[in-house]
Structure formats: structure tokens, C-alpha cells
Amino acid sequence: MSSIKIKSALISVYYKDNLEPIVKLLAANNVQIFSTGGTQKFIEDLGVSVTPVEEMTTYPSIFGGRVKTLHPAIFGGILYRRELESDVKTAAEYNIPSIDLVIVDLYPFEETVASGASEADIIEKIDIGGISLIRAAAKNFKDVLIVSSREQYGEVEQILSSKKCATDLEDRRLFAAKAFDISSNYDTAIFNNFNAKENIVAFKQSLRKGNTLRYGENPHQQGTFYGDLSAMLEQLNGKELSYNNLVDVDAAVAIMEEFDETAFAILKHTNACGVATGSSVAEAYNKAFAADTVSAFGGVLITNKKMNKEAAEAMHALFFEVLIAPEFEPEALEILKGKKNRILLKQKQKLNSVKQFKSLLNGVIEQDRDLKSDSLEDLKTATKLAPTEAEKRALVFASKIAKHTKSNTIVLAKEGQLLSSGVGQTSRVDALNQAIHKAKAFGFDLNGAVMASDAFFPFPDCVEIAKGEGIHAVVQPGGSIKDQDSIDYCDKNDMTMVFTGVRHFKH
């Protein structure tokens, strides 16, 4: 077990909340405490004896507090190896006291960046002494316990209380690992802040919070979510979110950010099987559900407006996995909680990441998130016939859905309602034929519908098929060397086609 009795401790922290019980516990066990500045005063105000580090170093805090603990008397007391006779002799020769416990945290660098502070203020929150003390104590975990965050105070207090201010090797190694977790996260945050301007080609991400999931995409795969999910979503009901739930929730939140007006979407395996806008949440839901009453079973549902009783009653009979909304009226919540496993999520934040990444070929691939949302202003008429105002609105609506649908995709819609989509096909013609078949299967008349494609048409075959189904308005990015073929066909057949100039592949 290699139990070590703590006889001396160095305490120097930025955050002092919940520190008092540990200080008093150390004092009650006659542990000598060394400290600095504000922490020293905090301890003295508790009526506990404390030795200023200046008595060890013979130097005051200098350079505006930038140098306080960077001294061999302190780092020697942490790093010298108690089992090595030569280290023990050196410590005695230079009158270096042993330090068995180090309680140190770090300046709030990430919080300072997030506050919009000036670069000068941000630089001053790059901790030097604290990070050095943490690494030193963690490195010498055989002899020293490192407490590197206020998050750990409760656990440390329990250990010290139960073991009468002694620690086992297992304790010290665990807290060393936690310390390196904190220090590496801190360094990553600093690098990424600097690299926002320098653009050094390096991939560094650090997320300290994590939840172990029941399993990954399939039961034989292990899964973990890293990040602060509770900051974005509050779960009001239902079972634990699964890996697949989280992937679908992410897709649902992303597509809903396309809409300001009252909207509703139903997703399955990250693709929308129903999307609609309406004068109320209930109307939007009913229109979205009508697009595919089969795939909605077991789906993920989302709206961008408050869930009310009317909407809750409309969807309650449907079996679905997840419902996401910014707010829930009490009556709606009572109805929806009628099924105990139904996951109800209150969305508190929008997506704020600007990058996407995933593992690939024994490495990582990263890209900017597709934050371009097509608008009326983006539509450039390529044909002789221009779309009507109603057709323009329908084309933008369809294009927004195509952006969030797996390529190759074709989306068929009318203003404010998805009729159908062809999803993830290897041929754009196959995607269109799938969409047509699906729309007809659910009783939709495609006369007057519009068609959206996530990428250009290399041949005029899709507009030819669309014309045969009564579709007269088309939106696509454009950019094919054979764009003119599709334009010519449209011009000869009284069709209108607009280009957005932006491709929205999704793989």
C-alpha cells in the first residue's frame, strides 16, 4: 500500500471555496502548512498557523506576482526522492523541507478568454507557477499527493479524514493522473487560443467531462460522450441517452437552426423524414408527420418553439425516442411524461462549434462546419423563366433540408412542407426516383412541388424526370461543365431553375 503520513503541505489556490474543511483537518493533524498571498491570508483568517513561502525561498513575490514559488527550496521539497539516499542528503545539505501534499489550482484561462477580455488580461491568466507545481507533484506521486482542482476537495477530504492524514500509493497515482488531465487540458486551451491567429497545422482537442454510454453504435461497441451535455440539454424525462440518440439529436438540433419561423422536424438515422413550418407547433408537427408516417416511428422529434398541450396531444400516441424543445408547458409535459421511457430534452443552447472532426485512416480529419444557410438572396435564376415568390420560398425551404440530408440527395417540397427525399444514393437519379416513389406512397401530388439537390446535375436526366412528375421549379448549386444542358431543357419545357453557388455534400 506504501502509506505515507502527511507532515507538510503547500497550499496556493485561486479558488478557495470548500477549502476550509481540508485546512482545518490538516491543522488538527499537526501538518505544517506553507502558503502564499491570498491563500495565506485565507488560512490565517481561519485561525490556522501557516508559514509564508518567503521563509523557505528568502525571496518575496516579485514581478507583479509572476514569480512566487519558482524556487529550488519548494520544487526540491516536492521532487526529491525519499527512497534515494543521495536525494535525502542533498535535501538536508540545502535545508530543503519535504512537502508531502500540494494543493494548487490554475488561473482561469478559459473563463478569461470566454469573457472577451483583452489579450493582455488573457496572457496574465497563463499560469506558470501553478502548472509547474502540479506537474512536479504529479511526477513524484510515489511520495507526494497532488490536489489540482477544487473539484477534488470533497474526495480528498474523505481520504484524509478516513486515513488520518495518510495516503496510499493508489491514492497518489490516481490524483497524479487527474493532475495531468488538468494540465494537458490547460495547455491545449492556451495553444488553441494562440493558434486561432497563427494557424499552425496541429490537431489538439481536450474535453475533460465525459459520460460512459450503455454502448456505442451497436451493443458490441463501447461508447463515450465527451463534453458538457448538461450545458446544452436538460433531460426532463426518459431513459439514458444512447450513442445513436446523441447522433440523431445532434442532427436534429443542426437542421432546426435553419429556421426562425415555427418549425418541426422528425429525423431517423440523422436524416429528416418530416420537416414543416406552420402557424403553430401542432400544425407544423402534423404536416411533418404526414410526410412519412412510417419512418416517424421510433424517431427523434424537434421544434424551435415552446411545446404546448395541443401539440403534445397531437403526437402523444406516436412512439418516438426523443423530443427536443426550448420550453415545455406544464400541461404538455404532463401528457408527454405518460410514457416513462420517452426522452424529453429542453434545449438550453445552440450549437457553438465551428469545426467538425472524426477519426480516419489512423488519423483525424477536420473541417469547418457547414454554416452556410441558403437564403432568398442566394438564388440566381439560370433559366429564362424566373420562379414566383412562393416558389422561391419553397426552393429555399427545400435547399435547407437538402443541406442536412445524406448525399446524394434530392428533396421534394412545397412551401413549408417536406414531401419526400431520396437519401444517401450513389446516383442522383436513384435519389430522385426514391423521392418520387415515397411521395406517391404517402399520397402527395407532386404537381407544383419544387426539387432541391445538394450538388449539381451532371446531366439533364433529373430535370427531365421532374418535369414528368409535374415539378416546374428546381434549385441546385450549379457548377457542372454541363450546366447548360439542364438549363436548356428547362427553357424548352417552361421550367425555372435557380443556382445557389454553394454545394452541400454530407457524407
- Which residues are catalytic, by number? 139, 269
Q: Which residues contact 208 (CB under 8 A, 6 or more apart)?
A: 181, 182, 185
Cis peptide before 447 (omega within 30 of 0): no
Is 427 in contact with 474 (CB distance < 8 Å)?
A: no
DSSP string covering 295-323: TTTT-EEEESS-B-HHHHHHHTTS--SEE
Is 353 in contact with 470 (CB distance < 8 Å)?
A: no
What dihedral do alpha carbons 130, 133, 135, 140 form, nearest 10°?
-160
- Quote the CA–CA distance of 94 and 73 in Å, as a whole number: 8
Q: What's the gap between Cα 332 and its chain centre? A: 28
User: Which long-range CB contacts under 8 A does 63-67 form with residues at least 24 apart?
Assistant: 65/37, 66/128, 67/129
Q: Which residues contact 464 (CB under 8 A, 6 or more apart)?
A: 489
For the chain, report the end-to-end CA distance as a whole number of angstroms: 52
Query: Residue 461 has which C-alpha cell?
Result: 436526366
Query: Residue 468 has which C-alpha cell?
Result: 414528368
